[in-house]
Amino acid sequence: MQIEQGLLAEAKQHPSPNCDDRPDDISLLVVHGISLPPGEFGGPWIDALFTNTLDPEEHEYFQTIHTLKVSSHILIRRDGELIQYVPFNKRAWHAGESSFQDKACCNDFSIGIELEGTDEKPYTDNQYQQLAQLISDLQAAYPAIKAEHIVGHCDIAPGRKTDPGSAFDWPRLYGLLSKD
């Protein structure tokens, strides 16, 4: 995959206004899981959330989240499709209150990758393949992202977040990464 000026050439671009300049260098990668409404896949709702266009009338759950100003750098859908919301060289608003190795505000120094999924349902082969390739390419572009700096949202916001959840197969991801 090709990364130029913070953009992934292979990804569809859906720019989010929910980003700003980074105060720190990139050294962390955070894996998330998301589905909207919860447990449903394939709709336009993740795009709508990250672009501030989520209609609260479309689903009862949306009434509780439609005012959030959140984003991620990239989403990997169940079929492996890549959608980029924020250039990697900008700060996406994905981690919230968080800390890694005693350093707070993980958004300042991390890249957030959302996987379309839930904590309990296995992620797809396409997602693991795309994620492993993307991580390899991000590590080449941002060498401070070491293997031990690839974490789940649950690891940087324990007690507050659980994603990517028990269904995420970390050994499988590490196995794919070691083949590169």
**How does pLDDT run across 14-72, given as a tens digit for each residue?**
999 999 999 999 999 999 999 999 999 999 999 999 999 999 999 999 999 999 999 99
Virtual CA dihedral for 36, 42, 45, 47, nearest 10 degrees?
Answer: 120
Active-site residue list? 114
Number of separate domains in the chain: 1
Note if the pTM is more than 0.75.
yes
Cα–Cα distance for residue pair 74/93, rounded to 1 Å: 12
Q: What's the rounded mean pLDDT across residues 100-123? A: 97
Cα–Cα distance for residue pair 124/130, rounded to 1 Å: 10
The domain spanning residue 157 has which CATH number? Answer: 3.40.80.10
Q: What's the rounded mean pLDDT across residues 162-180? A: 93
pLDDT at 159: 93
Cα–Cα distance for residue pair 128/146, rounded to 1 Å: 18
Confidence of residue 180 (pLDDT cuts 50, 70, 90): low
Domain that holds residue 47: 3-178
pLDDT at 43: 95
E-strand stretches of the chain: 3-4, 7-8, 12-13, 19-21, 28-34, 74-76, 82-84, 90-92, 99-100, 103-104, 110-116, 150-152
List the one residue out of 173, 34, 39 whose CA is nearest residue 112.
34
Determine what percent of the chain is predicted with pLDDT higher than 90: 97
Cα–Cα distance for residue pair 83/176, rounded to 1 Å: 21
